[in-house]
Structure 1
Amino acid sequence: MSDTDIKDMEKALEAILSMADKGKKAQVKFRRGTSQYTLLENRIYALNIAFSLINKELGNDMSQEFERAALENACAPIQSLISKSEKAQTKLKPGTWQYVMLENNIKALYIAWPLVLKELDR
């Protein structure tokens, strides 16, 4: 793995951690059992899987294994986050902090996505 790949993955870890933290903060605003709460719960879980898989790819001591069902359940939230982030980014002016944040999030999710698929193929 090249130094660039490693740096991209380390940046992806930061972006995914940030997305999960924001999701946790937003989740407390909703009542358990509501669709908003469940949506955020699923996204946070998927982001945690993505975070673990990137760490594993970097060779960090992440011995956590995921059941096939967990990986399958992570697919829709990750794809949804990619789609929604790309759509939101089209409405922003390039160079703004929001645009850059979404760009980093999208890159991170595109790094995580093939790792999830790779785990599903095992």
Structure 2
Amino acid sequence: MTEQERADALKVVTLIITRCKQALPKFVPGTSQHTLLKNRIQALKIGSALLGGGDVEKDSNETLTAALEPLASIIRKCEKARSKYEPGSGQYNRYGSTIRAMELSRIQIENELHRRML
């Protein structure tokens, strides 16, 4: 991954974290939507830290492993939404950059887990 790819992914992840934090108060704590957003925010923060060269040593292996599913969920939902648009359109491209950012975050988390296993 190039530094430009890393910077682009970090920008997208940071933007999504902001949007999720803004949406969080709209849901009642304890509801599935609230929990989903909390889990996504946690996963995105871990991905952001790894993309930005931050420290995730305080996060347990279980926390890192748990972060993989929310990222996979975002990827699936974006792929499904993107399929409704023509390649080259604005929405298609926006979903593509989100998918790339989530995949890079997922790879970073998997690499960190692998590093810890050695």
TM-score after normalising by structure 1: 0.87
For structure 2, which runs of at least 5 residues remain unmatched after alignment? none
For structure 1, which runs of at least 5 residues remain unmatched after alignment? 57-61
**In structure 2, what residue type is equivalent to 1:49?**
I
RMSD: 1.3
- Note the C-alpha offset of 1:97: 2.9
The number of aligned residues is 114
Q: Which of the numbers 39, 42, 67 marks the counterpart of 2:60?
A: 67
SS in 1 for 2:28: coil
| CA distance, structure 2, for counterparts of residue 39 and residue 88 of structure 1 | 19
Alignment of 1:36-47 (within 5 A): 36-47=33-44
- Note the C-alpha offset of 1:63: 2.9
Look up the match of 1:113.
Answer: 106
Give aligned-pair identity as a percent. Answer: 36
Look up the match of 1:17.
Answer: 14
TM-score after normalising by structure 2: 0.89
Alignment of 1:39-58 (within 5 A): 39-56=36-53
| CA distance, structure 2, for counterparts of residue 21 and residue 112 of structure 1 | 16
| CA distance, structure 1, for counterparts of residue 25 and residue 89 of structure 2 | 28
- Note the C-alpha offset of 1:7: 0.5
